Structure 1
Amino acid sequence: MQKAIGFYWTLPVPWARFTTLPEDIDAAAKASRTIRYQREVIRRFAKENKLALVAEKVFLEIAPDRSSRAVFDVLKPLKALCQAEEAILLHVDFARVQGWRSMAPLADWADEHGIRVETVFPGEIVIDSQVFDPHAHFSDWRARQREWSEGKADRLATARAAIERLSVDGLTNRDIAEALNARDIRSATGKPWTAETVRKLRPQKAP
């Protein structure tokens, strides 16, 4: 029986506080609907085409709006596994839905190392009695991402005002970061506050 390896990836969503992804496949599927969708599509495809799925790997990109060469760190160990098992690498090609979320670096890597890759069409499926439509899902994501991006100036203004108030109390940058996180005052990127990000916005003391 032909062997195969499933590869599932997604983008971080800072505004939803989704910036990390468990390496365990099932845990990752619980954390991300996109990963869960890919897992189900690939598993169904493997079963229908009599492929033995010998491994599955997940990857979270480093930027919320593009694929990058950072994926090579994850693909590197898969090269030996693909070759040892003579396995096909399976992944869902979201670009075939609406020309978006292309994983071009994966294709380049596969060509360079002679890895056989098979893309699976991202069709609409039912998961736990609910329909998952990739086109609708990503259209909604882009709308919310655009709304988040347009609110950056307001988030910065709110954060600067809060930092200025807290600075009067003589708190350290680390103390202020903890206070901002506890009060759910969002940073420009959506990532948790750190002493360094507070320092960049904190009013400078007069000499």
Structure 2
Amino acid sequence: MRNAVGFYWTLPVPWAGFKSLPDDIDAAAKVSRTIRYQCETIRRHARRENYCLIHEEVYLEINPDRGGDEIRASLTRIANVCRKQNACLLYVDFSLVQGWRSHSAMSDWAKNANIALEPLFPDQILMEGQTFDPTSHFSQWRERQSNWIQKKPERHRIAKRRIADMVAQGTSFKEIAQHLNAANIQSLTGKPWSAEMARKIQRAP
């Protein structure tokens, strides 16, 4: 039986409150369907191909709209595991479908990794009793992301009006930020409000 390592990654979605992942693989799969899909795909492939999956690792990108060079540290760590255990790295290569969700930093790293790599095609699978199509899944998220961006001016108006009212009442920016978070008034980026963010909105035209 050959050894293998599974690697699963995804992007954060700050406006939806998805900004962190548990280190535990199964826990991460419960909060991210993208991670769950990759995990299921790799584990099923490992069973079919008689791999012993000795290690799995999950990675959450820094930026919500693209893969970054920061992933190289995790990949280097995984490569060391592969070399020590004579293992093959298994991962789902989303770029194999119409160039979708290509990760340039990961692709560049793979060219010089000097380990056995086995990229898997992102096929549809049956997951939780339903067919999961990654291409459709990402298209839906892209549409939701587009809608979020289009509503940025509206979020700005709502926040600026509330901040102006509270400033007029003598409320500190720290208290304003706490109020906005408690009232679930979204910031322009979806990140939690801070005093500095509230101050910038108040000063903006």
Structure 1 gap ranges (5+): none
Q: Distance in 1 between matches of 2:203 and 2:9?
A: 40
- Kept in 2, the 8 Å contact 1:98–1:135? The answer is no
Deviation at 1:97, TM superposition (A): 2.4
Identity among equivalent pairs (%)? 49
Deviations 1:166-203 (A, max 9, x none): 11222222211110011111111111111221121124
Q: Is it true that 1:44 corresponds to 2:13 in the alignment?
A: no
Report 1:3-14 matches (<5 A). 3-14=3-14
Match of 2:100 in 1: 100
Match of 1:59 in 2: 59
- Kept in 2, the 8 Å contact 1:164–1:203? The answer is no
Match of 2:198 in 1: 198
Structure 2 gap ranges (5+): none
Normalising by the residue count of structure 1, what TM-score does the alignment of the two structures yield? 0.94
Deviation at 1:71, TM superposition (A): 0.5
Normalising by the residue count of structure 2, what TM-score does the alignment of the two structures yield? 0.94
Match of 1:91 in 2: 91
Match of 1:177 in 2: 177
SS class of match (1:69): coil
Quick check: 104-113 or 58-67, which moved more?
104-113
Report 1:117-196 matches (<5 A). 117-196=117-196
Q: Distance in 2 between matches of 1:36 and 1:79?
A: 22
Which of structure 1's runs of 4+ aligned residues deviate more than 6 A?
none
Deviations 1:39-66 (A, max 9, x none): 0000001111111111111111111111
Deviations 1:100-144 (A, max 9, x none): 211221222232331222111111111121111111111111111
SS class of match (1:147): helix
Deviation at 1:15, TM superposition (A): 2.1
Match of 2:23 in 1: 23
SS class of match (1:119): strand
- Kept in 2, the 8 Å contact 1:90–1:120? The answer is yes
